[in-house]
């Protein structure tokens, strides 16, 4: 790939605990001349960047705003023309319900040298941080990561046939998530849990069942970011 001046690294920041970034991700962050970060990447990570590094917040309250994404893409391109190392720091893994793949495609089309550095997704780290195993040998043989929110607010939410389901962006749309789970034939007494602010110091877990979780969200005032894990995995954790 023809290079402009610089190289862009699309880096997964990990789920929240700043120590959960990869060694490779941290190393490029330390030598970055410019960092474009979002709200979900741990703020402490920016302390690793050089003092002289340009630090730009490109966070979005609603990841479905296309115009804002265009602006981020353009910024990545512009910064690659003037800096040697540009880091695009994204919460969790940059390709899991994130726009990392679109950014990589844009950079490829613009012939900008780039590399993707994977991160630990909240979909896995959230349940695991409370000891919930997403798979169990000979018992839970599959796991699906599902969006709890679609661009078309009236669109049905998916509830694929998997042993464990992990929903991202499900808090505000919990009603429709539960509707989809029931429609899929799942029983109301199947356990589930919301993990809020996974791997941060103030993380918490709110447990329920398919039948009770909607009420629990209201009662316990669950707030994003939170992942919802559904299935017999909840309850199988090491006590
Ligand atoms: C736009 S998606 C980005 C997902 C991210 N790329 C990942 O791999 O974790 C945002 C959603 O990820 C989940 N999420 C991200 N960070 C989280 C955290 N620390 N705790 C719980 N959920 C989190 C929430 O469901 C949130 O609404």
**In a 10 Å sphere around its CB, with 0-12 CB exposed, 13-18 middle and 19+ buried, how is residue 26 labelled?**
middle
pLDDT computed for residue 236 by the predictor = 87
Which of 55, 60, 150, 182 is catalytic? The answer is: 60
What distance in Å separates the CA atoms of residue 18 and residue 217, rounded to the nearest whole number? 27
Residue from 13, 97, 118 whose mutation best tests the ligand 1 pocket (most atoms within 8 A of CB): 97
Q: Which pLDDT score, from 0 to 100, does residue 62 have?
A: 52
Rounded to two decimals, the pTM is: 0.94
For the chain, list the domains and their CATH numbers.
Answer: 7-120 (3.40.1010.10), 123-230 (3.30.950.10)
Q: Cα(108) to centroid of ligand 1, in Å?
A: 26
Query: In the prediction, which pLDDT does 14 show?
Result: 98
- Average pLDDT in the chain: 94
Closest CA to 12 of 46, 41, 47, 53: 41
Residue 207 Cβ contacting ligand 1 at under 6 Å: no
Q: Which tens digit of pLDDT belongs to each residue from 149-161?
A: 998 888 999 999 9
């Amino acid at each position: 790939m023809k290079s402009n001046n610089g190289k862009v690294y699309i880096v997964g920041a990990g789920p929240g605990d700043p120590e959960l970034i990869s060694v490779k991700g941290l190393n490029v962050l330390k030598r970055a001349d410019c960092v474009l970060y979002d709200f979900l990447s741990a703020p402490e990570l920016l302390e690793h960047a050089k003092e002289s590094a340009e630090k730009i917040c490109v966070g979005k309250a609603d990841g479905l705003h296309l115009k804002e994404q265009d602006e981020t893409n353009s910024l990545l391109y512009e910064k690659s023309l003037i800096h040697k190392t540009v880091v695009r720091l994204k919460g969790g893994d940059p390709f899991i319900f994130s726009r990392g793949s679109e950014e990589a495609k844009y950079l490829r089309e613009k012939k900008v040298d780039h590399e993707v550095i994977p991160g630990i997704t909240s979909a896995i780290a959230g349940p695991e941080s409370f000891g919930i195993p997403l798979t169990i040998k000979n018992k839970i043989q599959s796991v699906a990561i599902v969006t709890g929110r679609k661009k078309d607010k009236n669109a049905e939410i998916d509830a694929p046939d998997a042993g464990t389901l992990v929903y991202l962006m499900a808090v505000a749309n919990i009603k429709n998530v539960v509707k989809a789970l029931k429609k899929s034939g799942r029983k109301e007494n199947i356990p589930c849990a919301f993990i809020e602010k996974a791997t941060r110091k103030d993380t918490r877990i709110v447990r329920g069942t398919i039948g009770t979780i909607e009420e629990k969200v209201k009662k316990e005032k669950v707030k994003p970011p939170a992942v919802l894990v559904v299935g017999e995995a909840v309850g199988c954790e090491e006590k």
